[in-house]
Copies of this chain bind each other. A is one copy, B any other.
Amino acid sequence: MIIDRLFNEVEKKGNVCVGLDTHLDYIPVNLKEKYQDIDEILFEFNKEIIDKTYDLVPVYKLQIAYYEAYGIKGLLGYKKTIEYLRSIKKITIGDIKRGDISSTAQMYAKAHFEGEFEVDFVTLNPYLGFDSLTPYLKYIESGEKGVFVLLRTSNPGAKDIQYLKVSPKDEYLYYIVGDKLNEIGVKYRGSCGYSSIGAVVGGTHIEEAKEIRNRYKNMFFLIPGYGHQGATGKDVSLYLNKGNGGVINSSRGIITAYKNYKDGDQRFADYARKAVLDMREDIQSERGV
């Protein structure tokens, strides 16, 4: 199962998920001048970072919005990047946060689990209800694919909906979502103990970390919020379980790390590698490995 592959990769390489949220402003001018088309620029930047980090990284996440923003060529850059990652056997997360009625969700599943935009995991939004997940289940059942459903996100606005208290138990809404996902996920647990139905849990809120980790022992977490958004290695470690059970995403902190160095433009991928190493150490020193 894909979740076992991810678990094993984390065992070997640690918890750093590199977020390739590639804004054109993040790319050194000299690289931008070398290529004519946006798809090439995006892809070549991503490829250099991948080539310098793949031995340290269990999984790469692409935020599709950054590619959509550049239109057809942008999405071509997305496609090329995920194809490259898959060709070198790296695990990929398409951060698409789609959520729609089931006939439409079926088309999204086709888009991102087959064909040109095929990735190993996608992120999903639960607002439309659990029938919106159904079209993804056959792919998960095949063992090849997995999902991370939004539980509690890393942004301040997470409070607006996800933290509403639901009667009669007066529990946070995200627990209603989590409990249901946990229940659906039982059927899709790998030999590692985790389910291929995982959850997105922002690392920026630490108060409830222990409760969430305990409540969902078999759920693998995709944890955003490290670095730029404020979560530390100590914060995010609270969501791990013996150093596994989660991957921690960082994007800007890694792919724009080079901007802090004089020779950064020439060596952006080296500085991305350094940022991954630093982050890995920051997390590992806290998880007690």
Contact = CB atoms under 8 A, between A and B. Distances in A.
Interface string A33-69: 0000000000000000000000000000001011011
Contact of A158 (B70, B107, B128): B128
Contacts of A23: 107
B150 A107 contact: no
Contact of A108 (B21, B68, B107, B159): B68
A205 to B, nearest CB: 13
A18 to B, nearest CB: 16
A199 to B, nearest CB: 13
Given A75-B75, A107-B68, A173-B164, A101 B132 contact: no
A98 interface: yes
Chain A interface: which size bin?
35 or more
A260 interface: no
A127 interface: yes
Q: Which of A23, A112, A126, A129 has the most CB of B within 10 A?
A: A129
In the complex, the 7 A-B pairs of residues with the closest C-beta atoms, listed nearest first: A129-B157, A71-B116, A129-B160, A131-B157, A65-B107, A68-B111, A101-B155
Interface in A112-138: 112, 115-117, 125-132
Interface string A158-173: 1111101111101001
Given A104-B63, A107-B66, A166-B167, A129 B176 contact: no
A4 interface: no
A180 interface: yes
A200 to B, nearest CB: 10
A155 B129 contact: yes
B117 A71 contact: yes
Contact of A116 (B63, B72, B173): B72
